[in-house]
Amino acid sequence: MLFARKRVYFLAIGGVAMGNGAIMAKAAGYAVGGSDRAIYGPMDGLLRDSGITFFDGYGAENIIRFGPDLVVVGNGVGRGNPEVEWLLDSEKIPFTSLPQFLFEHFLRDRHRIVISGTHGKTTTAALCAYYLRQNGIRAGYFIGGAPLDFPCGADRGDGRAPFVLEGDEYDSAFFDKRSKFIHYRPNTLAIGTVEFDHADIFRDLADVERTFDHLLRTIPRSGQIFYNGNCDSCRRLLAKFPWAKAHSVGLGRDSDFQIRNVATGESGTSWEIVSKSGATAVRSSLIGEFNARNGTMALLAAHDALGSDLPEAVDLGGFSGVRRRQRLLRRDGRCAVYEDFGHHPGAIREVLRAMRSLYPDCELIACFEPASLTAMGRTLEEEFADALSLADRCLLGALCRPEAVPEGERLRPEEMAGRLRGKLREAAAFADNRELLGRLRELLSEDSEKFRVAVLFSNGPFEGVLSHWKECADGGTS
């Protein structure tokens, strides 16, 4: 390690990825510091518990005071940030991006398992690391969410064991606009879905496919790729790489690894993985067909890294999942309320289908807060409407940060509600989340012939709505 036991400064340390990277560096023997603006829980507590010094707010004096040998620059800061400008003007201290830092200091000599795709990669990466560790392999992992089975989202593990990474297609830093996963150079790669997202980074689906094309070009001939055989973009991409050892995973008999007999119930989901080499029966605590695919990807990637075949049966029932993914907040005799991080049409569609399979006779209520830059824009307005139409009722919240999107390009929830009214029993847009919460509480408290299931979709705070139901989950009243 080039800078082992030296001083490393994380600029924008409060983000999940940057904070986890800092904690992992501290555990590896680095002296670690950093800065950010208004670091909230749980990251502030995790950083303090790890003995990491960090400054509240940005200023060149922070870097000068800490005196680092290297600065890791998060992708959330850019030109105009006083610490960035000082680094560029002074030319005194080298700086790098987080993914480049991870590769050079933790990944270079490891078998790298990279889990990629538009959605599902956090859960799949967490499950892969969990499965390896449950089988006595102290794998390293770096995950962009909060896995419930681990104390935090990153751990270097045993230097001789594989390293599992969530392969994010977002950009690396203000000076390196390549996707983060380009730096990881996978030995084993899983691609769940390739769809248009991150409208602030990519122009269209072709632009997204281009960055996955670049990723595939980094795979060595000895590497293995497992991809979603039911995804048109995945099939298009892999057709251009005849030298790659690629294996399709999906529903249907034309996949190399077929997912069959998927059944979802209160205890989770069971399915079979069928290939030329045999069949594997799997049981998981997660719900839905899409989580059967995620679980299959995780198992195939893990066994590829170990150089072993899948066993006849796998029990993943002990896996707790990832924070904010299909979490049950309340259930009684008349209703259930879940939260989900869904902020892309594909993810919302998959979760609503999973809820239908778990509660086949329910009345399904989708509550959606547009919070990501893509969701708050109009680019995927039609796709969001199609996904939300799988519910029986749809309650749309106000845009989380409308000022982040130019006015003429903003999603108009009231227009989307109008489009949905002809398809659903109810579709309404609310300018105030308190009004949305009031309507939802009214629906869940009134008598109904059907059991009602509400899913709260947002990758933002869904202020007032999520907090209310989380208080209920923690023992409050509804």
Q: First and final CA of the chain: distance in angstroms?
A: 53
Q: What are phi and psi of 122, to 5 degrees?
A: -65, -50
Give the mean model confidence (pLDDT) for residues 70-97.
97
Q: What is the pLDDT of residue 1?
A: 46
Domain covering 327-473 in this structure, CATH number = 3.90.190.20
| 345, pLDDT greater than 50 | yes
| 245, pLDDT greater than 60 | yes
**Are the beta carbons of 177 and 211 closer than 8 angstroms?**
no
pLDDT in tens, 125-178: 999 999 999 999 999 999 987 899 998 889 999 999 999 999 999 999 999 999
Domain covering 109-316 in this structure, CATH number = 3.40.1190.10
Domain with CATH 3.40.50.720 in the chain: 7-99
Strand 327-331's sheet: what is its strand order? Answer: 327-331, 335-340, 452-457, 363-368, 393-396, 426-429
The rounded distance, in Å, linking the Cα atoms of 457 and 452 is 16
The confidence band for 209, taking pLDDT boundaries of 50, 70 and 90, is very high
**Are the beta carbons of 345 and 252 closer than 8 angstroms?**
no
Helix (H) or strand (E) segment spanning residue 113: strand 112-116
The confidence band for 45, taking pLDDT boundaries of 50, 70 and 90, is confident
For residue 184, give both structure tokens. Answer: 């990881």
Q: What is the pLDDT of residue 474?
A: 64
| 42, pLDDT greater than 80 | no
Domain with CATH 3.40.1190.10 in the chain: 109-316
Q: What is the pLDDT of residue 475?
A: 61
Range ranked top by mean pLDDT from 39-53, 181-195, 456-470: 181-195
The rounded distance, in Å, linking the Cα atoms of 344 and 352 is 12
Pairing verdict, β 363-368 and 188-191? unpaired
Percent of the chain with pLDDT over 90: 87
Angle at CA 466, nearest 5°, toward 76 and 124? Answer: 60
Give the mean model confidence (pLDDT) for residues 191-195.
95
Q: What is the pLDDT of residue 240?
A: 87
Domain with CATH 3.90.190.20 in the chain: 327-473
Cα 280 to Cα 149, 247, 257, 312, 395, distances in angstroms: 24, 16, 10, 4, 41
Q: What is the pLDDT of residue 241?
A: 83
Give the mean model confidence (pLDDT) for residues 396-422.
94
pLDDT in tens, 326-341: 999 999 999 999 999 9
Q: What is the pLDDT of residue 140?
A: 98
pLDDT in tens, 410-461: 999 999 999 999 899 999 999 999 999 999 999 999 999 999 999 999 999 9
Q: What is the DSSP string of 8-44?
A: EEEETTTSHHHHHHHHHHHHTT-EEEEEESSPPTTHH
Picking from 255, 254, 206, the residue whose alpha carbon sits closest to that of residue 227 is 255
Q: What is the pLDDT of residue 117?
A: 95
- Give the SS3 label for residue 130: helix
Q: What are phi and psi of 208, to 5 degrees?
A: -65, -45
pLDDT in tens, 111-123: 999 999 998 999 9
Please state the separation of Cα 476 from the chain's center in Å.
29
Which runs of consecutive H residues, i.e. helices, occur in 262-391? 289-306, 345-358, 373-376, 381-388
For residue 233, give both structure tokens. Answer: 């973009």
Q: What is the pLDDT of residue 44?
A: 84
Q: Which residues pair with 249 in a beta bridge?
A: 228, 257
Cα R_g (the chain), whole angstroms: 22
**Are the beta carbons of 126 and 322 closer than 8 angstroms?**
yes
| Domain boundaries 7-99, CATH class | alpha beta
Strand 7-11's sheet: what is its strand order? Answer: 53-56, 31-36, 7-11, 70-73, 95-97
| 181, pLDDT greater than 60 | yes
Arithmetic mean of pLDDT over the chain: 93
Q: What is the pLDDT of residue 26?
A: 95
